[in-house]
């Protein structure tokens, strides 16, 4: 009911005046005769158009009741239900107003604090509201899109790109994706985004300088869908390369790559995919690494060709790509398509569901968190329109247009941003192929005419399917192409058409509402919309004037546009909000003027094309007037058609891809740092001892620098000029140290090589022990005490004692403890560092290996890992903000306002700021801390650990689960050969340890007494993200003894009985 003021006015009348206007004592039974009752009028006149299916059914049932008394009683009940709906609406609107006010205050406070931290005075360029100027986002203030003025200009640009061999990865998870005969409209997950990502991959693969494009999606092997969606690979045939694809190679081109994850035999909606995201990430990681090696052999001189960027589409893919880009250390791009916060606001305005009900249905909070993480991780956020930036993205904690303007101004002046980062918002309109489109004039009958030189073409089948609905098929056709979704506003269009007699006399209406076999087989929402349309057709007696065919092929859509153009018709998109409006561009290409909603992307499209009218989607009179104006005024129709055809080239795919690639080129190149060394193929099974030894020498060398006092982590937020100078200084120190130290190490290397020849069984000196293991057991149990962790560790050791002694199984300790605490833990428990192959410390911000050289001490740090997670680390600016936050958390009930959170300097490292918590129950939940930091543009990962007694703040893409993916990339340890042991509860990063292709063993009775308050105040429930039905998650018995653990491992095949 949002926006329907005339409906709301009746609700207000009911609430304010009661059941009758003329008699205070009148009954709601509606038995009065001759008196006006707003309640009765509302029920009789409005309820037939009300969206609530159950209310409509009640109305039909009440109307069919013969007994007047029973009918009035039913109507009375309905009135009360509507009354309660209105009261609920008022209550929800009040709560939402309070939330918005609180959010506004939080953002203003965060902006003030961020500005105060950035100590330099703001220049004139940093003042003002960024929303009013699009230059905030790196774009022009003008409404025109950049264009390539001629074919020569495009060729010049293409020649400049030759020689590049780019590898680009796109990710779109949900829906059914294939290259040909796309089933658009089959369901709500297979729509415009599906077509966009396929065409983008196809177009990029045809561009100069691009060698390969992979579009990663879900493999669906279900009897409910076509078998083509189960094929692991599909090559996309280029539509029109224009001579750009001269340097084709063996693996070049565009491909759809389908990664298996989630239920193997089910096609499930996007809302149910969240628990299986980590499984996709692991599968995609494996594919990208394999392709990078193949491309390296073909065009990289033996060195892997890493993706130049990974681009996520929609929230689920954004979450996946954040993890992928973090694991691979490559730039991330993101396109939201539609945004969760905007949808949540729209649903709350409708007042049909509470916030909890909305979250239960749409998993909306998980989606919003994924979009926030995408903002944290993305170099560039690609939008279609200015409206998406100004009205939708600004709803998020992680994006503030005003603060973004200030940061961008400081970056241009090479001034420090003090650890603050904001993704770059870029407007790139989606593209389209136009070379095969020939706009045609004439009428419907003219299609069948021909001559000797140009024989007549047969009438397309879809024309017959549509024209059979019409009494007079020669009238101009008003065409709407959208699935039957309430937000597409089709019912308002039908009402506008039905109630405007001049429009009905001049035109026909064609509704292409997806494909359907039977209404009963459709989803309840889509079926409700379709039923409403059919009843409106009957109500206004529109038979012979409205077409609504049941089926159409995707390949027939161009013919539908052509039919509308031949009848001199109009295309309309009346959606309440349209993020972009690709169908408007398609219709324009075929010579159709447009009528479109004024909310969203159509505003920008019409500004560029100048070929139609904008309407208020809530005002059906506005819709009818615009349609009538275009249909009746032939000169206006011809002018709109001519303008559209003249300007349509601005939305071509080459134009889109050129802008897209230039934006990618502006990103700072990133890839796994160790590839810069000459250590050969890190993951090769048949590498030489010398290469493997160099790996260990590199790590040992890094350790020496650390012991000499060299800081390993640059904050990444300093003045760019300063950071370059520091990098040069570090490199010179590194070179000198290598020259001095290599004199001694070369002797050790020769000794190691000779020992290999003497004893083939002695392979310790070749590479880290974890590379030799058949399986790796990761102990990630978050016990409250060292005693509990020690007891669990010993049980796991005992369960695999035989394999442990043989050396086929290695162990990794993954914990929130520091390396010093781990050393104390090992000493107190009588364990040796060499009992473990590696140590993931500080919640995943540090990675150590057990030392191979006693002279280096018991542990060796992997500084390559630090360079891997350094992205957007806030450094000192982040630390100052955290200290200020910690000082504000006090026990106000105590006499001296005791400070509850204090900095733990002795537990902090370069990449982990640790804080001790005095009373965990009184500290704000982790979601509030993350929100505070995002509002100030600080990108990090805050983790409440050790039963809430410690807070670790680490880089945004660092975590214990990401550290495991790093080991796979760095050392080739397959994730499927890992077993992660966890308790029944854990730190707030607990969920990341339970997903993926590795096996998770949940030890029953372990950590069962953990403070569930850590997870009770989450943004979304754990049940939304944990794959409870996954075969990769196993549970031990209640005792969780060594025999129980071994039995569980034997069942899943990791140990032999």
Q: Is pLDDT of 387 > 90?
A: no
Specify the pLDDT at position 396: 95
Exposed / middle / buried, residue 922 (Cβ in 10 Å: 0-12, 13-18, 19+): middle
pLDDT of residue 142: 36
The Cβ of residue 137 has, within 10 Å, a number of other Cβ atoms equal to 23
Which residue did the predictor score with more confidence, 548 or 349?
Answer: 548
**CA distances (Å), origin 554, targets 178, 184, 195, 457, 481:** 12, 7, 10, 20, 12
Q: What is the pLDDT of residue 253?
A: 93
Segment 56-76 shows an average pLDDT of 66
How confident is residue 37, by pLDDT bands cut at 50, 70 and 90?
Answer: low
- Evaluated on CA atoms 919, 923, 925, 927, the torsion sign reads negative
Confidence (pLDDT) at 102: 85
How many Å apart are CA 462 and CA 606, to the nearest integer? 29
pLDDT for res 86:
67
pLDDT at 924 over 80: yes
Q: What is the pLDDT of residues 940-991, one digit of tens each?
A: 999 999 989 999 999 998 999 999 999 999 999 999 999 999 998 899 999 9
Percentage of the chain modeled with pLDDT above 90: 51
* Pair type for strands 1033-1035 and 999-1002: parallel
Lowest mean pLDDT among 168-182, 294-308, 607-621, 697-711: 697-711
Average pLDDT, the chain: 81
What confidence score (pLDDT) does residue 930 get? Answer: 94
Residues in a beta bridge with 593: none
pLDDT band at 119 (very low <50, low <70, confident <90, very high): low
834-872 confidence digits (pLDDT tens): 999 999 999 999 999 998 777 778 899 998 999 999 999
Average pLDDT over residues 155-174: 81
Owner of token pair 């305005």: 349
pLDDT digits (tens, 9 = 90+) for 49-58: 444 445 555 5
> What per-residue confidence (pLDDT) applies to 113?
85
Supply the pLDDT for residue 101.
86
pLDDT at 831: 94
pLDDT at 239: 74
Q: How far apart are CA 100 and CA 542, in angstroms?
A: 44
Query: What pLDDT shows up at residue 166?
Result: 93
Question: 98: Cβ–Cβ under 8 A, 6 or more apart, which residues?
Answer: none
Cβ(310)–Cβ(333) under 8 Å?
A: yes
pLDDT digits over 471-505, tens only?
999 999 999 999 898 889 999 999 999 999 999 99
More confident residue, 126 or 981: 981
Judged against a pLDDT cut of 60, whether residue 267 lies above it is answered with yes
pLDDT at 758 over 60: no
Confidence label for 143 from pLDDT (cuts 50, 70 and 90)? very low
Percent of the chain with pLDDT over 70: 75
Helices (H), 972-1018: 1013-1016
Q: How confident is the model at residue 63 (pLDDT cuts 50, 70, 90)?
A: low
pLDDT at residue number 846: 96
Task: Say what the pLDDT of residue 456 is.
Answer: 60
Place of tokens 């003497």: 758
Taking the C-alpha atoms of residue 968 and residue 962, their distance in angstroms, rounded to an integer, is 10
Q: pLDDT, tens digit, for every residue of 438-466?
A: 776 655 555 544 555 555 668 899 999 99
Residue 83 has pLDDT above 70, yes or no: no
Least confident of 225-239, 344-358, 375-389: 344-358
pLDDT digits (tens, 9 = 90+) for 308-338: 999 999 999 999 999 999 999 999 999 999 8
Phi, psi (rounded to 5 degrees) for 615: -135, 160
């Amino acid at each position: 009911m949002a926006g329907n003021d005339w409906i709301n006015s009746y609700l207000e009348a009911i609430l304010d005046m009661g059941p009758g206007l003329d008699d205070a004592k009148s009954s709601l039974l509606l038995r009065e005769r001759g008196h006006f009752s707003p309640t009765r009028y509302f029920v009789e006149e409005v309820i037939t158009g009300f969206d609530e299916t159950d209310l409509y059914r009640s109305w039909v049932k009440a109307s069919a009741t013969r007994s007047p008394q029973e009918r009035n009683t039913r109507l009375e009940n309905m009135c009360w239900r509507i009354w309660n709906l209105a009261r609920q609406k008022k209550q929800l609107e009040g709560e939402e107003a309070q939330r918005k006010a609180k959010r506004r205050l939080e953002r203003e406070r965060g902006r003030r604090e961020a500005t105060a931290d950035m100590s330099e005075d703001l220049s004139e360029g940093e003042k003002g509201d960024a929303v009013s100027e699009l230059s905030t986002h790196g774009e022009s203030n003008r409404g025109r899109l950049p264009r390539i003025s001629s074919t020569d200009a495009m060729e010049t640009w293409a020649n400049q790109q030759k020689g590049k061999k780019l590898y680009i990865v796109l990710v779109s998870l949900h829906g059914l994706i294939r290259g040909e005969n796309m089933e658009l409209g089959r369901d709500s997950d297979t729509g415009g985004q599906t077509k966009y990502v396929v065409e983008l991959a196809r177009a990029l693969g045809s561009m100069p300088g691009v060698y390969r494009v992979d579009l990663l999606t879900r493999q669906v092997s279900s009897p409910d869908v076509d078998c083509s969606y189960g094929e692991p690979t599909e090559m996309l045939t280029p539509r029109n390369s224009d001579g750009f694809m001269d340097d084709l190679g063996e693996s070049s081109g565009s491909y759809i790559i389908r990664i298996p994850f989630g239920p193997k035999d089910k096609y499930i909606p996007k809302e149910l995919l969240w628990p299986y995201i980590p499984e996709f990430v692991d599968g995609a990681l494996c594919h990208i690494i394999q392709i990078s090696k193949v491309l390296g052999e073909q065009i990289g001189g033996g060195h892997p060709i890493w993706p130049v960027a990974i681009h996520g589409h929609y929230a689920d893919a954004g979450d996946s790509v954040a993890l992928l880009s973090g694991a691979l250390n490559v730039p991330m791009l993101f396109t939201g398509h539609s945004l969760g916060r905007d949808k949540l606001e729209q649903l709350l305005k409708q007042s049909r569901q509470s916030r909890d009900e909305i979250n239960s249905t749409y998993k909306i909070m998980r989606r919003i968190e994924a979009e926030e993480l995408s903002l944290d991780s993305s170099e560039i956020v690609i939008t279609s329109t200015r409206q998406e930036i100004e009205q939708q993205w600004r709803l998020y904690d992680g994006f503030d247009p005003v603060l973004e303007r200030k940061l961008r101004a400081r970056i241009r002046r090479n001034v420090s941003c003090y650890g603050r980062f904001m993704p770059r918002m870029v407007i790139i309109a989606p593209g389209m192929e136009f070379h095969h489109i020939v706009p045609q004039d004439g009428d419907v009958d003219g299609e069948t005419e021909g001559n000797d030189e140009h024989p007549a073409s047969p009438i397309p089948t879809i024309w017959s399917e549509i024209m059979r609905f019409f009494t007079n098929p020669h009238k101009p056709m008003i065409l709407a192409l959208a699935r039957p979704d309430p937000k597409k506003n089709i019912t308002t269009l039908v009402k506008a058409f039905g109630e405007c007699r001049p429009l009905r006399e001049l035109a026909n209406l064609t509704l292409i509402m997806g494909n359907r076999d039977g209404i009963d087989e459709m989803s309840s929402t889509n079926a409700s919309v379709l039923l409403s349309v059919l009843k409106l057709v009957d109500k206004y007696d529109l038979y012979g004037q409205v077409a609504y065919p049941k089926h159409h092929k995707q390949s027939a859509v161009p013919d539908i546009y052509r039919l509308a153009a031949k009848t001199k018709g109009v295309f309309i998109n009346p959606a309440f909000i349209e993020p972009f409006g690709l169908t408007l561009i398609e219709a324009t290409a075929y010579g159709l003027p447009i009528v479109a909603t004024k909310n969203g992307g159509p505003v920008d499209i019409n500004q560029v094309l100048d070929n139609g009218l904008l309407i208020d989607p809530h005002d059906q009179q506005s819709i009818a007037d615009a349609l009538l104006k275009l249909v009746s005024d032939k000169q206006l129709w011809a002018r709109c058609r001519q303008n559209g055809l003249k300007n349509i080239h601005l939305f071509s795919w080459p134009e889109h891809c050129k802008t897209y690639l230039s934006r990618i080129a502006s990103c700072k190149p990133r890839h796994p740092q160790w590839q810069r060394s000459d250590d050969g193929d890190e993951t090769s099974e048949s590498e030489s001892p010398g290469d493997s030894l160099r790996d260990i020498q590199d790590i040992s060398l890094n350790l020496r620098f650390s012991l000499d006092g060299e800081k390993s982590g640059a904050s990444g937020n300093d003045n760019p000029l300063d950071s370059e100078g520091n990098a040069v200084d570090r490199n010179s120190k590194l070179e000198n140290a290598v020259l001095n130290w290599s004199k001694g190490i070369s002797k050790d290397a020769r000794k190691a090589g000779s020992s290999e020849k003497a004893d083939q069984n002695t392979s310790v000196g070749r590479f880290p022990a974890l590379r030799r293991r058949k399986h790796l057991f990761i102990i990630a149990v978050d016990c409250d005490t060292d005693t509990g962790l020690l007891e669990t560790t010993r049980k796991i050791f005992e369960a695999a004692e035989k394999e442990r002694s043989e050396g086929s199984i290695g162990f990794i300790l993954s914990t929130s403890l520091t390396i010093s605490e781990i050393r104390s833990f090992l000493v107190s428990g009588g364990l040796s560092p060499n009992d473990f192959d590696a140590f993931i410390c500080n919640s995943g911000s540090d990675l150590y290996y057990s030392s191979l050289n006693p002279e280096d001490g018991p542990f060796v740090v992997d500084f390559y890992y630090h360079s891997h997670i350094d992205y957007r680390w806030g450094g000192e600016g982040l630390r100052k903000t955290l200290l200020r936050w910690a000082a504000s958390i006090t026990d106000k009930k105590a006499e001296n306002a005791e400070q509850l959170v204090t900095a733990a300097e002795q537990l902090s490292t370069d990449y982990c700021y640790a804080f001790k918590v005095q009373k965990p129950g009184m500290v704000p939940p982790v979601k509030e801390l993350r929100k505070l930091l995002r509002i100030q543009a600080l990108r990090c990962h805050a983790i409440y650990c050790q039963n809430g007694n410690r807070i670790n703040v680490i880089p945004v893409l660092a975590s214990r689960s990401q550290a495991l993916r790093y080991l796979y990339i760095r050392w080739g340890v397959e994730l499927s050969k890992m077993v992660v042991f966890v308790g029944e509860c854990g730190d707030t990063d607990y969920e990341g340890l339970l997903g993926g292709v590795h096996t998770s063993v949940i030890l029953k009775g372990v950590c069962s007494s953990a403070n569930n308050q850590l997870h009770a105040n989450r943004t979304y429930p754990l049940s939304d993200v944990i794959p409870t039905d996954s075969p990769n998650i196993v549970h031990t018995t209640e005792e969780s003894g060594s025999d129980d653990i071994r039995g569980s491992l034997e069942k899943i095949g990791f140990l032999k009985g």
